[in-house]
Structure 1
Amino acid sequence: MFAIVVFWVAAGLLAYTYAGYPLLVMAQARIRPRPVRRGEGLPTVTAVMAVYNGAVELASKLDNLAALDYPPHLLDIVVVCDGCGDASEEIARAHRGRPVTVIAHTQRRGKASCLNDGVAAARGELLLMMDVRQRLEPDALRRLVACLDDPAVGVAAGELRFEDPDTGFAASVDAYWRYEKAIRLAESASGSAIGVSGALYAVRRALFPEVPAGTVLDDVYVPMQVLRAGHRVVLESGAVAWDRPSSSSAQERGRKLRTLAGNFQLVALAPWLLVPGLNPAWLRFVSHKLLRLLSPWLLLLLAGASLALAWQHWFYLLAAAGLAAFVLLVALAAAAPPLARLLPVRIAAAFAHMNLFAAQALFTWLGNRRLHLW
Structure 2
Amino acid sequence: MISHLAWLACWTSALLLVHVFVGYPVLVWLQARLRPQPVARHAILPTVSIVIAVHDGAGFIRAKLASLQALDYPAELIDIVIACDGCHDSTVTTARRSTDPRLTVLDFPNRRGKAACLNDAVALTRGEVLLFTDVRQKLSPTALTELVANLADPTVGAVGGELHMENLRTGFAQGVDFYWRYEKGIRHAESRSGSTIGVSGALYAMRRRLFQPIPPGTVLDDVLVPMRVAAQGKRVVFEPRAMAWDQPSQVPEDERRRKIRTLAGNYQLIQLAPWLLLPWRNPLWLRFVSHKLLRLCAPWLILTLTLSSGVLFTRHPMYAVAFCCLVAGALMVGLARLRPTLGRLLPLRIALAFFYLNLFAAQALLAFARNRRLHLW
**TM alignment of 1:63-142, pairs within 5 A:** 63-97=66-100, 99-142=102-145
Q: Which residue of 2 aligns with 1:311?
A: 314
TM-score (norm 2): 0.97
Tell me the amino acid that sits aligned with residue 250 of structure 1: E
Tell me whether 61-70 or 97-106 shows the greater mean CA deviation: 97-106
User: Could you tell me which residue of structure 1 aligns to residue 262 of structure 2?
Assistant: 259
Aligned to 1:225: 228
* 2:293 is equivalent to residue 281 of structure 1: no
| Stretches of structure 1 lacking an aligned partner (at least 5 in a row) | none
Shift of 1:107: 0.8
Q: Quick one: distance in 2 between partners of 1:194 and 1:128?
A: 18
Partner of 2:202: 199
Q: CA–CA distance in 2 between the matches of 1:255 and 1:369?
A: 14
Is 1:171–1:340's contact at 8 Å kept on the other side of the alignment? no
Give the CA deviation at 1:346. Answer: 2.3
Q: Name the SS of the counterpart of 2:300 in structure 1.
A: helix
* Ranges in structure 2 where 5+ consecutive residues have no aligned partner: none
Does the 8 Å CA contact 1:77/1:98 hold for their aligned counterparts?
no
Query: For residues 54 and 166 of structure 1, do their structure 2 counterparts lie closer, same or farther at Cα, with a shift above 3 Å needed?
Result: closer
| Alignment map for 1:1-374 (pairs within 5 Å) | 1-97=4-100, 99-165=102-168, 167-374=170-377
For the residue of structure 2 that corresponds to 1:320, the secondary structure is helix
Give the match's secondary structure for 2:141: coil
Q: What is the CA distance between 1:340 and its match in structure 2?
A: 2.3
Q: Are the equivalent residues in 2 in contact too, given 1:75–1:98 (CA < 8 A)?
A: no
- Give the TM-score, by structure 1 length: 0.98
The total of aligned residue pairs comes to: 374
Identity of aligned residues (%): 57
Amino acid in the other structure paired with 1:44: T
What secondary structure does 1:337 align onto?
A: coil
Corresponding letter in the other structure for 1:114: C
2:169–2:250 contact (8 Å) kept in structure 1: no
By how many angstroms is 1:328 displaced? Answer: 0.2
Which amino acid letter does the alignment assign opposite residue 303 of structure 1? T
State how far apart, in whole Å, the 2-side matches of 1:281 and 1:17 are: 16
Instruction: Return 72-81 or 310-319, whichever deviates more.
Output: 310-319
The answer to whether the 8 A contact 2:168-2:250 is kept is no
2:82–2:105 Cα contact (<8 Å) kept? yes
Give the drift of 1:64: 0.8
Per-residue CA deviations over 1:269-293 (Å, capped at 9, x if unaligned) read 0000000000000000000000011
RMSD over aligned Cα atoms: 1.0
- d(CA) in 2 for partners of 1:310 and 1:58? 57
